[in-house]
Amino acid sequence: MSTHKNINRICVAATFFSIVLTVLLMNGRTLGLLPIVSEASSGDLFTTNDLDGNWDTASATRIVLSDSGSTISGNGAYVNGGNVYIVCA
């Protein structure tokens, strides 16, 4: 016997809504629910350039972060007032 009068009702309702949510998530596409991320972009997270392991660091901009002052060697970034700004990709 529960100490609170409505605890059994709350447990039954929570179980019911958990089952409904699980069924909706498992069968969302057949029920007409659309995913948040489109299928076209979900598989294209990395470009062929990202997956190429034979890249050269000779032209890369190096950023070294430090409490005493960050240093940058190369183009496309600068330090101003202790903040590092990347201005070119």
Per-residue pLDDT tens over the stretch 71-86: 999 899 999 988 999 9
What is the CB-side half-sphere exposure of residue 68 using CA atoms within 13 A? 0
Instruction: Return the higher-pLDDT residue of 60 and 25.
Output: 60
Cβ(60)–Cβ(74) below 8 Å: yes
Alpha helices in 27-88 (DSSP H): 39-42, 48-51
Cβ distance 28 to 37 under 8 Å? no
Query: Which residues, other chains included, contact 55 with Cβ-Cβ below 8 Å and sequence gap of 6+?
Result: 49
pLDDT in tens, 2-17: 567 788 889 999 999 9
pTM here is: 0.39
Q: 62: which strand partners? A: 73
Whole-number average pLDDT of the chain: 81
Whats the size of the chain, residue-wise?
A: 89
* CA quadruple 19, 21, 22, 26: dihedral sign: positive
Does residue 41 surpass a pLDDT of 70? no
